[in-house]
């Protein structure tokens, strides 16, 4: 638990807030213990915890396969944060690791790949994310992983977990990459295929295979439908699960294909790595400032939220460092439960119908329509 105390910042109360909570912005500090190239533009960083407020000496932070770390960096005087999925799997790998893929002109990915060295430290929020899977050793079901490019990173973690913990299930990986050399974890996946010949099936789609005599192939809706049908889910049973991760057009194609096939929303999990554009605030006819009470890390605080600020923006301005990553309604790092009042979101790419029914909201795109009370 993060220790918190109620204090005044710089000796005075910040405007709007009934209190100011003091939090360390260094929940976890990791040291890089190894850097291994995966492809020409990606590398895996092994990390060991060495400090921070959540650090327990000698212990790895608890995490689930498919979750991500959010690194807090300051580059050229600017505070930046970026999330990176954990590619290791607890109970399978004796280490914790993330894989970074270079984004052309990307500020943080290039910094991590070009400047980080073994022995350097990185500050991170605790592992978080809902792209996870509860396994049961006796369960016998179809699980499909549909990944493109760096989307393979959380999928690799989940795959390892399922193959180990759910031996009776049938696991199918459909991957889309440019060529053989750009497939992340290619050798490890090939080893898994040999080790689990009955339970693990992998179809790799390459848009530009190295051999010019072989035509490129794209996973499209027709192929996806056929493949899912061939693997026994043509009449998808309620236990079948689908995990999607990749560029947005790829995920949209996969999502719509599966939905048209009759697969229910609750059977499909997706992880978004990119934010297209930060959505505009919803149009409101009543822009009166609202009071939002926030329960966070065993403390309670009431802040003033004035349109067009989101709850997250207002909280950060008033000294309450609520967790966040993408700030675009896609990663779920800012999830909170609304206990009272109305919070309207301008976009929601991660919360399910069930989450919404239970009152979950995203503070990064959440606007207080009335006075409200949330717990983070
Ligand atoms: C939940 C989550 C998990 C993630 N896991 C991983 C991971 O395991 N490995 C990994 O490498 N990245 C991952 N990402 C993406 C990562 O957080 C950064 O967005 C990415 O590294 C780019 O950051 P940057 O600072 O280098 O680029 P920026 O300087 O932020 O962006 C530069 C340009 O690239 C575009 N861009 C940003 N991100 C991407 C992207 N992912 N693909 C293509 N174009 C992009 C931007 O629109 C912009 O035009 C994850 C993101 C989320 C939300
Ligand atoms: S910070 Fe990513 S959904 Fe809010």
- State yes or no: pLDDT of 141 exceeds 90: yes
Average pLDDT of the residues in 89-118: 97
State if residue 254 touches ligand 1 by the CB under 6 angstroms criterion: no
| Ligand 2 atom with minimal separation from the 330 CA | 3
**The two three-digit tokens of residue 324, written as one number:** 């966040």
State if residue 161 touches ligand 1 by the CB under 6 angstroms criterion: no
Q: Which domains does the chain have, with CATH numbers?
A: 28-128 (2.40.30.10), 142-271 (3.40.50.80), 278-375 (3.10.20.30)
- State yes or no: pLDDT of 234 exceeds 90: no
Q: Which helix (H) or strand (E) segment is 356 a member of?
A: helix 353-357
For the chain, the helix, strand and coil percentages under 3-state DSSP, each to the nearest 5: 20, 35, 45
- Report the pLDDT value the prediction gives residue 283, as an integer from 0 to 100: 77
Nearest CA to ligand 1 atom 37: 274
120-134, 209-223, 273-287: lowest mean pLDDT where?
273-287
Nearest CA to ligand 1 atom 7: 84
pLDDT band at 147 (very low <50, low <70, confident <90, very high): very high
Say which residue the tokens 């802040």 belong to: 303
Q: Is the peptide bond before 308 cis (omega within 30 degrees of 0)?
A: yes
Nearest CA to ligand 1 atom 4: 84
C-alpha distances (whole Å) from 16 to each of 242, 301, 323 are 44, 11, 20
- State yes or no: pLDDT of 21 exceeds 90: no
Please say whether the beta carbons of 204 and 146 come within 8 A.
Answer: no
Residue 236, helix vs strand vs coil: coil
- Report the pLDDT value the prediction gives residue 237, as an integer from 0 to 100: 74
Beta bridge partners of 70: 83, 125
| Ligand 1 atom with minimal separation from the 105 CA | 32
Q: What mean pLDDT value characterizes the chain? A: 90
Choice from 278, 311, 362 to test ligand 2 binding pocket (greatest atom count within 8 A of CB)? 362
State if residue 362 touches ligand 2 by the CB under 6 angstroms criterion: yes
């Amino acid at each position: 638990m993060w220790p918190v105390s109620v204090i005044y910042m710089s000796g005075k109360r910040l405007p709007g807030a009934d209190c100011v909570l003091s939090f360390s912005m260094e929940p976890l500090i990791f040291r890089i213990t190894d850097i291994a190239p995966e492809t020409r533009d990606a590398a895996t960083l092994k990390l060991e915890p060495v400090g921070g407020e959540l650090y327990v000496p000698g212990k790895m932070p608890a995490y689930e396969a498919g979750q991500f770390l959010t690194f807090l960096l300051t580059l050229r005087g600017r505070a930046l944060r970026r999330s990176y999925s954990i590619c290791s799997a607890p109970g399978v790998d004796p280490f914790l690791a993330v894989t970074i893929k270079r984004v052309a002109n990307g500020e943080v990915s290039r910094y991590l790949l070009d400047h980080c060295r073994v022995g350097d430290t990185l500050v991170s929020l605790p592992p978080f994310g809902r792209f996870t899977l509860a396994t049961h050793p006796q369960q016998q079901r179809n699980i499909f992983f549909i990944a493109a490019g760096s989307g393979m990173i959380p999928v690799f973690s989940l795959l390892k977990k399922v193959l180990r913990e759910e031996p009776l299930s049938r696991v199918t990986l459909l991957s889309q990459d440019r060529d053989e050399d750009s497939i992340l974890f290619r050798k490890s996946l090939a080893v898994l295929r040999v080790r689990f010949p009955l339970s693990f099936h992998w179809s790799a789609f390459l848009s530009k295979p190295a051999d010019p005599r072989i035509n490129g192939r794209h996973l499209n809706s027709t192929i996806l439908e056929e493949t899912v049908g061939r693997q026994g889910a043509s009449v998808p049973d309620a236990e079948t699960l689908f995990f999607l991760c990749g560029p947005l057009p790829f995920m949209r194609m996969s999502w719509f294909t599966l939905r048209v096939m009759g697969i229910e929303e609750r059977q499909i999990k997706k992880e978004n790595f990119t934010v297209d554009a930060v959505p505009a605030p919803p149009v409101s006819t009543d822009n009166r400032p609202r009071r939002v009470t926030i329960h966070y890390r065993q403390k309670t605080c009431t802040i003033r939220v004035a349109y067009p600020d989101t709850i997250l923006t207002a909280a950060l301005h008033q000294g309450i460092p609520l967790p966040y990553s993408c700030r675009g309604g896609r990663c779920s790092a800012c999830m909170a439960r609304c206990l009272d009042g109305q919070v309207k979101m301008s976009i929601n790419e991660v919360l399910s119908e069930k989450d919404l029914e239970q009152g979950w909201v995203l503070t990064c795109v959440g606007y207080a329509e009335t006075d409200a009370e949330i717990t983070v």
